Structure 1
Amino acid sequence: MLQEVKILAQYITTKYGHKFGSRKELEDWQERKVRVLLQRILLISEFYRDYFAGLDIAEWRNWPTINKQIMMKNFTRLNTVDVSKEEAFRVAFAAEESRNFTPTVHNITVGLSSGTSGNRGLFLASQDEQAKWAGAILAKVLPGSLLKEHRIAFFLRANSNLYKTLGKHRIRFEFFDLLKPMAEHIASLNALQPTIVVGPPSLLRLLSDALCRDLRIVPEKVISVAEILDPLDKVYLEQRFQQIIHQVYQCTEGFLGVTCSLGVLHLNEDLVVIQKEYLDDEYKRFSPIITDFSRISQPIIRYRLDDVLKEKVGGCACGSPHVAIESIEGRCDDIFYLPAKNQQGVIPVFPDFIRRAIITADESIVEYIAIQRDESHIDIGLRYIGCDNVEQRVRLNLATLWESMGIAPPHVNFIEIPVQIPGRKLRRVERQFEVAWKK
């Protein structure tokens, strides 16, 4: 009963409590929240106490950053609930193997990230943090009132006590395991008749195709999670589902963003501070540096993500003071690096440049992948409908891109799009080698 009260309290606070009249008002409020957090964390986290020793709290925005490697190396000393990295991994891997995600450590939920960046990460959440997360996400994604009946079909690689917190009273929450057969999912969806469908874009595409056959659902809202929502997939899905495809931007490091009613992604700056480490000279693309001012069990302070976000110029028409994001372009690890034509080093090419060169080549393209194998070889996979010379047009678009950026043209090879492995995240633009200067 106490857990339900906490969920409701957070729901009300998130939906109705934080009304900021200006950007400055929001930032001043964040500053107060973070300073209170830091005074507490520096007393109870051995790692952070040592890492930030001697630094002035008033200058916290300039403190050293951490990343996944630093967090995982210091996991046992960083968390504040006495959970060792070895114990957490043991419970998390056992859950992955058994597909039973209910066990906890000291009443703390343990989760395992999907490891798309090459190494698996851990996250911890106390019961109080689970309740706050559930209340916040319900406030931000539910269409209509909490009192309305909702049937949520949630597709992910792994379940969690965190997600089970959502299923309360009028909200029926059903986890769909991505590792199970699609035919089983279709039968369950037809029986459930979900009002909300949540899943990775690669899964949503399969469901949208099944709408033409044996899937008979009419959800009020479709939400993309876990994978980047590529513009090509967004258009395809919106045509099939006949509605805006919304997004939730979430990772093991926090609930970072959600789309507004207009379908524009906004950062959840009432839950976290997200500083910007700019990656381009135009100050449009940045990697987020996260400080979560409500997370205690596994504090997230000045945590640098490898994601590449592109800020929306001019903000959003909805009027929110929260930063609007035009797109999540990928990870820093997926920026292509190609030799300069003048042989003076390599030139970074953001995933969005590759993506646009491909999808604007021909409107018949419905699916693609782009993989940089090494500094001079790129593989392109295309699926298109009833059109000739599509590959040639893609080559021309890419050649124009290389020329405009002063890049020595790489070898472009066209391949078949491989079958998507269940449970594995789809990356449409991917670099599969390490740049020499980054080793």
Structure 2
Amino acid sequence: MGVGRRFADLVAFIRYYAKAKRGGRFRTRAALEEWQDRQVRTFLAFVRSRSPFYREYYSGLDERDWQRYPMIDKTIMMAEFDRLNTVGIGREEALSLALEAEETRDFTPEIRGITIGLSSGTSGNRGLFLVSPKERVMWAATMLGKALPGSLFAEQRIAFFLRANSNLYGSVQKRRIQFQFFDLLDDVSVHIEHLNRYQPSIIVSPPSMLRLLGEAQMRGELNVTPAKIISVAEVLDPLDQSFLSTCFKQVIHQVYQCTEGFLATTCSHGTLHLNEDLLVIQKEYLDREQGKFVPIITDFTRTTQPIIRYRLNDILTEQTVPCPCGSVFTPIVAIEGRCDDLFYFPSVKNGELVPVFPDFIRRAVIAATPDVREYRVIQEGPQHVQIMLRGPEDKRQEMEDAVAASLCHILEGMGVRPPVIGFMPYEFVPGATKLRRVERRFTLV
């Protein structure tokens, strides 16, 4: 890379960083939405000129009506990958490179300067993503602007725990900011030894790995004092959040990011806010009264692989009261998980299957007894649930009885038939598989 290019990247980085730092500059929600509308319409004009898929998909539609354009999802994005992206990269070429990187654990190769990434595929449908050099700079600057405590010029040592590294994450590395990739496939003992030497000021990790690190810290095996802990990649369960706050004596922050975009970050108060200076998130309500919705994303900052009216498979719960930080960006109470993990139980009245949100299942377990340290609830069928519990062995029967009673009480109050509940010892090893504390394993007919 030439000197001129490096200088241009540095100027762009500082500009994006400063913009992210003052992201809450909008005085009113109306001002934000008016600005977003202008961004999206300009973005659409560019995308239609470069993406054969979107040019055809939105043919004849008025750009002023973009909020009602046809939606896409992961299935459509992957099927139309070759025609959807604006840089002419084919799906098979990109997938081959991404799979080779995962096999060799060398994540540096690119295709014509474009970074290729592969999602973890929790739903069984892995997604490819493409990021240009300009977008890498913007992502790194924006991530640091929103998540970095203090000044850009303060020294930071970031420990990033991920299933797969990427040039995207490596672009975080700057002169006074050290970045170390910790491979989730490595044994936790290796991580503990490395962390004790590295002494990170920031740890970014899925909560399942943070849990192991927190336990090591409590045992005295790990001795670190990070200024900030950021949970990523998995749902941060309230049980884990409370435990980690106790272990590390601080608020646990979150970054909500997926293949489809950098969606949300926590503010200084620990409230998760949608990154509405980067994208528009429309709400498909599943339960308007309880504020539960599926996000529909339009990211007006990514032109290499445009994301327009993309329906995610996640369930979010919006916060009804403003955050004390004063931001007009939408505050989120919780990321509940995937729509695929809605439980379904037969109604007492007519036997029809009734959806039950993952949040209700979590509440039933957590409220049952303080002895539960970790859990997983797996619905094998409409009338069969398996529960894994971790806690004091001498209180196992009491825990199981309390959790069963609590779950049945909640379900009976919702007018559904309680299932047959089986119990088994808790098991989960962080690594290639994401932790899902609430998981449905049967398919609706």
Sort the TM-score into its range (normalised by shorter chain).
Answer: over 0.9
Shift >4 Å, 4+ stretches? none
- What CA distance in whole angstroms lies between the structure 1 residues aligned with 2:288 and 2:152? 44
Counterpart in 1 of 2:89?
A: 83
Match of 1:24 in 2: 30
1:178 to 177, 184, 192: 184
Q: Is the 8 A contact 1:156 1:423 kept in 2?
A: no
Q: Displacement of 1:5 after TM fit?
A: 2.3
Is the partner of 1:105 in helix, strand or coil? coil
Amino acid at match of 1:401: I
* Residue pair 1:368, 1:382 contacting (<8 A) in 2 also: yes
Q: Which of 403, 414, 438 pairs up with 2:412?
A: 403
- Whole-angstrom distance in 1 between the partners of 2:305 and 2:175: 29
Structure 2 residue 402 is the aligned partner of structure 1 residue 393: yes
Quote the offset at 1:375 in angstroms: 1.3
Tell me which residue corresponds to 2:442: 433
Q: How far 1:359 sits from its partner (Å)?
A: 0.5
Residue 4 of structure 1: CA displacement?
2.5
| Deviation for aligned residue 1:330 | 0.7
| Structure 2 counterpart of 1:413 | 422
Match of residue 214, structure 2, among 204, 208, 215:
208
Q: Distance in 1 between matches of 2:399 and 2:187?
A: 33
Cα distance, 1:283 vs structure 2: 5.2
Contact 2:24 / 2:329 at 8 angstroms: preserved in 1?
Answer: no
CA deviations on 1:18-56 (whole Å, 9 max, x unpaired) are: 610011111111011000000110111000111111111
Counterpart amino acid of residue 119 in structure 1: N
Q: Output the amino acid matched with 2:266.
A: T
1:240 and 2:239 aligned: no
- Give the residue type in structure 1 aligned to 2:407: L
Matched, 1:139 2:145: yes
Q: Give the direction of change, closer, same or farther, for the CA distance of 1:347–1:17 in structure 2 (3 Å limit).
A: closer
SS in 1 for 2:368: coil
C-alpha distance in structure 2 between counterparts of 1:200 and 1:409, whole Å: 32
Normalising by structure 1, report the TM-score.
0.98
CA distance in 2, matches of 1:378, 1:300: 37
Shift of 1:400: 1.0
Q: Which moved more, 1:387-396 or 1:92-101?
A: 387-396
**What's the CA shift string for 1:43-70, capped at 9, x where partnerless?**
1100011111111110100111100000
Does residue 360 (structure 1) correspond to residue 367 (structure 2)? The answer is yes
Q: Which moved more, 1:223-232 or 1:179-188?
A: 179-188
For the 8 Å contact 2:184–2:431, the answer to whether it is kept is yes
**2:412 partner SS:** helix
Q: RMSD of aligned C-alpha atoms?
A: 1.1
Q: CA deviation at 1:236?
A: 0.5
Counterpart for residue 350 of structure 1: 357
Residue matched to 1:227: 234
Deviation digits for residues 341-381 of structure 1 (CA, Å, limit 9, x no counterpart): 12341100000000000110011111100000111110011
- Where does residue 309 of structure 2 map in the other structure? 302
Between the aligned partners of 1:341 and 1:235, the Cα distance in structure 2 is: 35
Q: Residue by residue, what CA displacement relative to the aligned partner does 1:96-117 show, whole Å, maximum 9, x if unpaired?
A: 0000000001110000000001
CA offsets, 1:69-103, max 9 Å, x none? 00000000000011000000000000000000000
The CA distance in 2 between the partners of 1:69 and 1:86, in whole Å, is: 15
Task: Work out the CA distance in 2 between the residues paired with 1:73 and 1:206.
Answer: 38
Deviation at 1:281, TM superposition (A): 4.3
Structure 2: distance between partners of 1:91 and 1:17: 35
Q: Distance in 1 between matches of 2:308 and 2:196?
A: 43
Cα distance in 2, alignment partners of residues 254 and 303 from structure 1? 10
Residue of 90, 99, 107 corresponding to 1:101: 107
Decide which of 161, 175, 192 is 2:198's aligned counterpart.
192
CA distance in 2, matches of 1:101, 1:16: 32
Question: Distance in 1 between the 2:190 and 2:334 partners?
Answer: 33
Using the TM superposition, name which of 278-287 and 85-94 deviates more: 278-287
Asked if 1 retains the 8 angstrom alpha-carbon contact of 2:428 and 2:435, the reply is no
Whole-Å Cα distance in 2 between the matches of residues 91 and 5 of structure 1?
A: 31
CA contact (8 A) 2:158 2:202 kept: yes
SS in 2 for 1:229: coil
Number of the residue aligned with 1:118: 124
Task: Extract unaligned runs of 5+ from structure 1.
Answer: none
1:167 to 168, 173, 179: 173
Pairwise CA distance, 1:391: 1.1
